[in-house]
Amino acid sequence: MLRRARAVAALVVVAGCHRHEDKPPPPPPPDVVPHVTGPIAIDGEWDESDWANRALRYVLTDPTGAPARPASELRLLRDDRDLYVALYAADENIETGDHFDLTLGYLTLHLAATGAVQPTVPGLRVKVGLDEGTLDMARDDDEEWVVELAVPLATFAGARELPVKAARCDTPKGGIPRCGAFASGLGNARPLLLVYPTTQ
């Protein structure tokens, strides 16, 4: 009888160990959008030091998880009024139809290389900068373009967490489309927290 009780106890311990091993790991802490240290001019240049030294930075990846080619990047900052977004696009042939699709919470924006934005959002400011680039001129070699925009925080109705997605497809001169994307909270990308802690 004692031997049977010991065997049952051992089975309970083993089962408990298996349950412990099967427990999923805790979710990663969210990334927090940093507060700016100075003014951000929406001019398509993103030459303020906060863009380089403080912003959250995410590289868009291709379907295999490798960095997308041509290179594309998303950066995020905020102040007490606006969420600042910068989108970088390497591009050897910038065309009118080139664009990013950006989702911020419930809001999805179509951001064209021409500076056009759809849909219209009250108070949104945007500027596109072309670096060594000319629209719709395939005979020359372009380099890159940058979208810089400010979205009023009021647009998000006080939301603390803000799912973010960015995607871009480009067709180089070789004629084969290539795409890249980023989505917070998916894969290795941590959830995104919009509200900047008052303790920092």
Q: Residue 98 belongs to what domain range?
A: 31-193
CA 62 to CA 53: how far, in whole Å? 26
CATH number at residue 175: 2.60.40.1190
The predicted structure's pLDDT at residue 21: 62
- Residue 93 located in a structural domain: yes
- Residue 23 located in a structural domain: no
**Cβ-contact 194, 174 below 8 angstroms:** no
Under the banding of pLDDT at 50, 70 and 90, the label for residue 14 is: very low
Query: Helices marked H in the chain — which ranges?
Result: 2-22, 49-53
**Measured CA angle at 33 (ends 53, 107), to 5 deg:** 125
Mean pLDDT along residues 111-131: 90
Q: Any residues with CB less than 8 A from the CB of 141 and at least 6 apart, and which?
A: 92, 93
**Measured CA angle at 86 (ends 45, 172), to 5 deg:** 85
Give the lowest-confidence range in 12-26, 62-76, 114-128, 134-148: 12-26
The predicted structure's pLDDT at residue 26: 74
- Residue 24 located in a structural domain: no
- Residue 97 located in a structural domain: yes
pLDDT digits (tens, 9 = 90+) for 153-199: 999 887 888 889 999 988 776 677 788 899 887 666 677 777 655 44
Asked if pLDDT for residue 22 goes beyond 70, the answer is yes
pLDDT digits (tens, 9 = 90+) for 141-161: 556 788 999 999 999 887 888
Residue 150: strand pairing partners? 84, 125
CA 58 to CA 93: how far, in whole Å? 23
Counting the structural domains of the chain, the total is 1
CA 79 to CA 149: how far, in whole Å? 13
Asked if pLDDT for residue 5 goes beyond 80, the answer is no
What average pLDDT is seen over the chain? 80
The predicted structure's pLDDT at residue 150: 97
The predicted structure's pLDDT at residue 24: 77
For residue 119, how far is the Cα from the chain centroid? Answer: 19
Three-state SS across 129-156? EEECCCCCCCCCCCCEEEEEEEEEHHHH
Neighbours of 36 (CB within 10 A): 20
The torsion of the CA quartet 126, 79, 57, 183, rounded to 10 degrees, works out to -80
CA 156 to CA 59: how far, in whole Å? 24
- Residue 87 located in a structural domain: yes
Under the banding of pLDDT at 50, 70 and 90, the label for residue 41 is: very high
User: Taking the model in full, what pTM does it have?
Assistant: 0.80
- Residue 4 located in a structural domain: no
